[in-house]
Structure 1
Amino acid sequence: MRVLEWRAGVAADLVIGPVIGAVSAAVLAFYGYRISASWGGAYWVSGCAAGAAVCALALVRRRSRLWTAVAGLGVAAAAIVVARVAHLPTEPGPGVTLGLSVLVASAVRVLPPRRACAVAGGGLMVVAGAFAAASQPAVATMSAVGWAGAVAAGLWPRLLAARRRAVEERVRRSERMELARELHDVVAHHVTCVVLQAQTARLLAHKQPDRLATSLADIEAAGSDALAATRRVVGLLRDPARGLPALDGLDELVRRFGGHGPAVRLRLPEDEDTSLWPPEVATTVYRIVQESLTNVSRHAPQARSVTVTVMRARGSITVEVADDAPPAPARRRRGHGGYGLVGMRERVEALGGTLRAGPRPGAGWSVVAVLPVPPREHP
C-alpha cells in the first residue's frame, strides 16, 4: 500500500511540479515588472529573490515536508524584516505567498498532527508579522488569504483520508469479528463433541470394553465432522456465497447432539419453505441452536431433554433452545468466561434482533432470539 501511495505521489509531482514551476515563474516575472514600473531601480531584486527561494523549496518539498516548510517560513519572516528595515516593497510578496501556500498545504496534509499544527501556526505568525509591518494592507491581506487557503487545502484531504481509514478499520474489525464468531461456533461445537465422546470412551474402557470400538468410531466421525466444518469455514472465507449453514442442516445437528447427549426435540414451522428465508437469518438461527446445544453439553450435563423451537410470525423469526437441567449455582455462570453468548448476541444484534438468555422458572435454561424479517407476501 505504501509503495502504491509513493508511486501515486511521484506521478502527481510529475504533473503538479511543472505547473507550480510555471505559475511561480509567471508570478515572479509579473511582480518584478510591476515593482520596476512603480518603484524603479533594482527594488524588485529582493522580493523576487525571496519569492524564487520559497518557490524552489515548494518544488522540492517531498524531500522533507517539515524542513522545507520551516525554511520557507524563515525566508518569509526574513523578507518581512528586511523590507521593513531597508524600506523595500512590502513583503511577503506574491511569489513568497504562493510558495509558502504550497509548503503549508503540503505539510498540513501529510505531517503528523503536532508538526502540521506547528507549520500552520508558523504560517499564521508570518501573516501576523506581515500585518504588523505592512505599509500596504492589501499585501498582508493577500498573505492571510493564501495562508487560509493553504490550511483548508491541506486539512480537507487529511480529513477525508482519516474518514476513509476509519471506515476501512470498521470493515476490517467487522470481518475479524465475523471470522471469530464463525470459528468459535464451528470449533467449539465439534471439539466439545469429541471431548464428550472421549470421556465416554474412557468409561467404557473400564466398564464395557466390548463397546469401546463403537465409541472410538464415534470419535472418529466427530473428528471428520470437525474437519469438514473447518473446510466449510475456509470456503466461506474464499467465497462468502459458499459454506453457509442452512436450516435443513438442523436435523443432522440435532441427531449428532442426541447421539452423545440428552434427547433433543426439534420444532420447525409447518407449511413454511425455510429455504426462502434470508441467508443471514438462516445462518444465525443455525448458529444459535449450535452454540446453545454446545452450552448444554458443557454446563448442563444433568439435563435430560432439550427443546429447539423455531417459529415464524409476521415480521419476525423466533428461535428458542430450552433444557430441563436442575438448578445449580454453576448454571448462573453459563455463557460467562467465553465468547459463546457474546458471539450469539453480536450475530443477533447485527440483524437488528434481540437475545435473552437465563434460567427458566423452576428448572432449566433457555436462550431466546428474535430476528426481524420482511413479512411474507401472499399471492
Structure 2
Amino acid sequence: MRVRRWAADAALGVIFAVVLAFWAVRIADSWGGGYWRFDCAAGAVVCAIALARRFDPARTAVAGLAVAATAVLAARFADLPSEPGPAMALGLAVLVGTAVKTLPVRTACAVAGGGLAVAAGSLVTAHTLAAGVPSVTLMNVLAWAAAVVAGLCPRLLDARRRAVAEGVRRAERLRLARELHDVVAHHVTGIVLQAQAARLVSRKSPEKAGDALADIEAAGSDALAAMRRVVGLLRDPDEPAETTMPGRPGELGELVERFEAGGRTVRLRLPDEEETAAWPPEVAATVYRVVQESLTNISRHAPQARSVTVEVERDRETLTVEVADDSPQCPSRHHQRGGYGLSGYGLIGMRERVEALGGTLRAGPRPGSGWSVLATLPVPVSPPRPRPARERAR
C-alpha cells in the first residue's frame, strides 16, 4: 500500500511539473519578460504542499488555500497574470479532494468553502470581465467541483459500507443473543424445576432422590450440548447455520417429551414428517424456538397448568403455530408473563424471529382461562413431487 502511495505521488509530481512548465511558456509568450516567474513560484509552492497532504490533510489544505489567496491578492495589486493558474488550481483540487474525503464533516466543509472562495476570487485578477466569465475562473471552479466530487464519492461509499457492516454485525448480535437466551432460559429453567422437585422427593421418598438427580444431570448435559452449539457459531462463523439450527424432524417431539417429564400433559399436533422436512431451515428453527420459549414460559409462570396444546398447521402458504395452556387466570399473571423469559427478552426474541420471516406474533390470555401464543409464518408453496409411474398407474 505504501509503495502504491509513493508511486501515485511521484506521478502526481510529474504532472505538476509538466503543467507548471506549460503555463510558464504560455505566460512568457503572451506577457513576455519575467511575468511567468511569480505564477511558477506560487504554483510550485501549492503543488509541493499538495504532495505533503498525507502527513496532515487539514493543515496542508489551510496552507495551500492561504498561499493561493495571497497569490490572488498579489496578482490583483501588482497587475500580474490571473491567479490561481492551472498548476495551482490542480494543487488546490488535490488538497480539497483529500480534505473532503478524509477530514471530519465540519473541517471538510470549511476546506471546501475556502476552495470555492479562492476559485471565485480569481475574478478579481481577470483581465476580460467584459467578455463574460473568465476562462481562469471557469477552470478554477470546475477544478474545485471535480475535487469535491472526487472526495465526496469515496466518503459516501465508505459510510455506506460502514452502515451495511454495522447492520450485519447488529443482526448477528441479535441472532446470537436470541440463541443464547433460548438455550439458557429453557435448559436452566428445566434444571431449576427438576431441582425443586428433587428437594420434595428427597423429603417424601428418599429412595427416589437418585432418579431425580439423574434427571438433573441429564438436563445439565443437554444444556452444555446446546451451549456448545451456540459457542460453535461464535468460534466458526463459516459453519453453515443450518447445521446448528434446531427444528429438524423429531426435535419438537423430544422437546415436548422433556416438558411432559415435569408432570404436565401435552397434546401435540404436527403435519406429517415429509412436509415438515421440506420446511426451510429458518422456518423450522423459528417454529422450534416459539414452542420452546412458550413451554419455558409455562414452566416458569404457570405452575397450575396441567394441560398444554401445541398445534402446528399449514394452510397453503401460511404456517400457524399455537401453544395454549389451561392455567387459571390471576390478576398478576399478565404482568408476570408479559415479559416472557429472562429480563423480558423472551417475547421480544420470539417477535423478532417471527417478524424477520414476515410473520406475526400474538400472545395473551385466552377467553375464560389459560394463555395462548399464536405465531403465523409465511411458507412458500413447494412444487408437487412427481409420483412414480407405478403409483400413477393405479
Matched, 1:57 2:49: yes
Distance 2:3 2:313 in 1: 60
Match of 1:355 in 2: 361
**How big is each residue's C-alpha offset from its partner over 1:200-245, in whole Å with a ceiling of 9 and x where there is no partner?**
1222232332222111111111100100111122334421232221
Alpha-carbon contact 1:127-1:144 (below 8 Å) kept: yes
| 1:250-289 to 2 correspondences below 5 Å | 250-270=252-272, 272-289=274-291
Match of 2:13 in 1: 21
| 1:1-379 to 2 correspondences below 5 Å | 8=1, 10-136=2-128, 137-237=134-234, 238=236, 239=239, 240-245=241-246, 246-270=248-272, 272-333=274-335, 334-336=337-339, 337-378=343-384, 379=386
**How big is each residue's C-alpha offset from its partner over 1:14-48, in whole Å with a ceiling of 9 and x where there is no partner?**
33212211111110000000011111111001101
TM, length-normalised to structure 1? 0.95
Distance 1:23 1:369 in 2: 66
SS at match of 1:260: coil
SS at match of 1:241: helix
Q: Which amino acid aligns with 1:249?
A: E
Q: Which amino acid aligns with 1:264?
A: V
TM, length-normalised to structure 2? 0.91
Q: Which amino acid aligns with 2:349?
A: G
Distance 2:257 2:273 in 1: 22
Alpha-carbon contact 2:317-2:380 (below 8 Å) kept: yes
Q: CA shift at 1:248, angstroms? A: 1.6
Identical residues among aligned pairs (%): 63
Unaligned 5+ segments in structure 1 are: 1-7
Q: CA shift at 1:11, angstroms? A: 4.1
Q: CA shift at 1:49, angstroms? A: 0.6
Distance 2:52 2:382 in 1: 65
Distance 1:270 1:30 in 2: 83
Q: Which amino acid aligns with 2:192?
A: V
Distance 1:273 1:67 in 2: 68
Alpha-carbon contact 2:96-2:111 (below 8 Å) kept: yes
Alpha-carbon contact 1:102-1:150 (below 8 Å) kept: yes
